[in-house]
Structure 1
């Protein structure tokens, strides 16, 4: 366990199917309200720790370390979108004991979306934060340009938060995850999700621009769009504002 901010966060390995999925967060998920479960982008959970800590102040919360590039026990699944979604779906089935607020960021939003479609009874509400990729970024050339234009808007502090995971993953695995996310069409999956969906984007995010965020919210059966300040990594730079959105979803009537 570790003291992060003012909240004690635990590192846990939960059995999900035949795997043990590592997570950080509160020790208990079955008491104190609906759990908030976070799924990171590109397998780099560190940049979401600040948001996790804020969510944990108000109730149970976990940040899943999938696929687990830095887990001493080893990775729990492959690096593709499908493998990640099935692992998260198994965790939702075996661990929380009830429905959760499932929130993913970046490629993790795509993972969370597919997991919610696979396990509809285990997701009370779905939050897609800066979901990737709009159709024009499903080719590598435009994606590289958009990543550059977004990067100049980011806080430099996000680099040490993600770099250890990126180095542990290596370029081949990061590229495999990115390619599988580019091949995905989240707008075609949203109709399979019946729970409330909140799509959150940032005003200066070129990877997940506000127009794309609003479009995805409109594709959901029960969707709404929220645009906050910042760029793609807004949960790291503005954890209080991010947690406010997540806790609002947690406390909202279904």
Structure 2
């Protein structure tokens, strides 16, 4: 079987992920974007088959989205972007603010997939995906915002701390080893910079400028992105819908099948 072809105008460094589930063999790929190389996990070839699903993690910790990625890869091309890349041996590809992350994702969308994608972000990654979609309208066929942060009351430190605790007690303990290595690599200063950048953002003001279909996906027990906020954001989009599933903030880790069902459905979105 011939090796996967590198993207046009760049290169790919392919290294198989050791775990294989179903029919999806995932790879670690480095794609040339300008003078940098953005690391991602997923299927090697994005230019054959159905519309690719591209995932953006929250707080730069991609590990908790691997289960959802694998389910998406069973149905078609899929990538999980490792931005900013705290654990990339080559070092972070960009800064940790929303603006720097959105610029990097927008450049990746322009250089790598070769066509429109389903762009999906989780938590602060949803904010990054939203800004990238607004900057690259022709590159995003559908946008999925999973547990998007932060509603206005949580843009202050004290209420955010309370909501984070309320959500944490609802989470599966299994999510901790999925995010901890990235958090340790980032360190508290960079994580705090990312969180403060997200708190300063107003996604409700950006959504009316997005022209593609938007699905806002939230969870019943998520105090960081409560169902009311999910529905409000969907209403701000020109072509938006809200979906609320079971779980708390990290529902893509605990309920990957339900999450992937929504994401794979967005490949065919026409609402």
Distance 2:27 2:264 in 1: 20
1:224 counterpart residue number: 241
Distance 2:101 2:209 in 1: 18
1:5 counterpart residue number: 21
Q: Does 1:212 align with 2:234?
A: no
Distance 1:145 1:18 in 2: 41
Distance 1:164 1:247 in 2: 28
Q: Which blocks of at least 5 consecutive residues in structure 1 are unaligned?
A: none
Equivalent residues in 2 for 1:79-98, closer than 5 Å? 79-98=96-115
Distance 1:5 1:143 in 2: 37
Moved over 4 A (4+): none
- Equivalenced residue count is 254
Name the SS for the 1:177 alignment partner: helix
Q: Which blocks of at least 5 consecutive residues in structure 2 are unaligned?
A: 1-15
Distance 2:202 2:125 in 1: 14
Name the SS for the 1:126 alignment partner: strand
Distance 1:104 1:156 in 2: 22
Equivalent residues in 2 for 1:243-254, closer than 5 Å? 243-253=260-270
Superposition TM-score, scaled by structure 2 size: 0.93
Name the SS for the 2:96 alignment partner: coil
Name the SS for the 2:267 alignment partner: helix
Name the SS for the 2:30 alignment partner: strand
**Per-residue deviation at 1:73?**
0.9
Please report the RMSD computed on the Cα atoms of aligned residues, expressed in angstroms.
0.7
2:138 counterpart residue number: 121
Q: Does 1:70 align with 2:80?
A: no
Name the SS for the 1:24 alignment partner: strand
Name the SS for the 2:26 alignment partner: strand
Equivalent residues in 2 for 1:40-189, closer than 5 Å? 40-189=57-206
**Per-residue deviation at 1:191?**
1.0
**Per-residue deviation at 1:252?**
2.7
Superposition TM-score, scaled by structure 1 size: 0.99
